[in-house]
Structure 1
Amino acid sequence: MDEEKRVEVHREEKTDTGLVGATFIKYAAYLIIFFGVLWFLISYIFPMF
């Protein structure tokens, strides 16, 4: 009497809200720095030409 037992494993992946928040802050900082450099180039460097 060999019966095959099929076990279905359901695993829920929880998103770590702390990690998501830290990643959002990191990329927000990248965007702020990028737009700051862009603003500097447009305001000060570009009018010299």
Structure 2
Amino acid sequence: MIPFSGINLKRFTLDQLAPSNHLVRKMEASIDFSFIYDSMEDMFQR
């Protein structure tokens, strides 16, 4: 059996991963994703 060594989590932000002229930045700036939070609010606690 493989021993449990804990969880190795790393946090990344969009600023760290995508340059300022990347397509994902343009999408983030032009699409309002707030509807996702509103529709999922009952499923998750804030």
Q: TM-score, normalised by structure 2?
A: 0.29
Q: TM-score, normalised by structure 1?
A: 0.28
Q: Which has the higher contact order (CA 8 A, sep 6+)?
A: 2
Higher-Rg structure is 1
Larger helix proportion, structure 1 or 2? Answer: 1
